[in-house]
Amino acid sequence: MSCRLRLQGPGPIQLYFMGYRIGFGVDFHQLAEGREFWLGGVLIPASRGAVGHSDADVLIHAICDALLGALNLGDIGLHFPNTDPAYKDIDSKILLEKTYALVRSRGYRIVNIDSTVCLEAPKIMKYAPLMRAAMAAILRIAADDISIKATTTEQLGFIGRGEGLTAYATVLVESAAGRGEAP
């Protein structure tokens, strides 16, 4: 935990503790015919979707990993193993909700999320406002506190060949104690 001094006029020096933590997450999935394409909690029209035990929402999975990592709680596979039938075809928004409950139980809140999705097709940025709104509602933050960017690999590698996609996420969380609040 870091601290900061605040000087206010001739009065006493006040010491404020700041409890910020940063987490990073990444997820990869193959793409295949006959699968729905879920991204950021939104069903996006596409000829192929991501393959996975759940709905394979690569963006939500990366954000979950980032949140868990920020608080040293392991990864998404530890909390929601792909060997557990309870998670077969589960809506990843439920996983995000459960992950956020863990964050809150530790006395933290989300400050902001920055994410990048890497895929060749389909083009996803017109769906970004819907994705941001869907995740913001679950995470109890403003949609403006969630950044979603998209890029391609210029036809290089498995992503460039259209075989899969990946998402990266970085989160900043803040302790309620760091803001002088009860958790």
Residue 96 · residue 103 · CB < 8 Å:
no
Calpha distance 130→80 (Å, rounded): 25
**Per-residue pLDDT of the chain in tens (183 residues, 90 and over written 9):** 444 545 555 656 554 556 899 999 999 999 999 999 999 999 999 999 999 999 999 999 999 999 999 999 999 999 998 899 888 989 999 999 999 999 999 999 999 999 999 999 999 999 999 999 999 999 999 999 999 999 998 898 998 898 999 999 999 999 987 554 544
List, in sequence order, the alpha helices (H) in 43-91: 58-70, 76-79
- The percentage of the chain sitting over the pLDDT mark of 90, rounded to a whole number, equals 74
Q: What is the per-residue pLDDT across 54-102, written as a single tens digit (0 to 9) for each?
A: 999 999 999 999 999 999 999 999 999 889 988 898 999 999 999 999 9
DSSP letter (8 states) at residue 122: S
In sequence order, what E strands does 81-163 have? 108-118, 146-151
C-alpha pair distances (Å), 154 with each of 51, 122, 159, 161? 22, 14, 9, 9
Q: How many CB atoms lie within 10 A of CB 24?
A: 14
Q: What is the pLDDT of residue 22?
A: 97
Burial level of 9, CB count in 10 A (0-12/13-18/19+)? exposed
101 Cβ neighbours under 8 A, 6+ residues apart? none
This prediction's pTM: 0.87
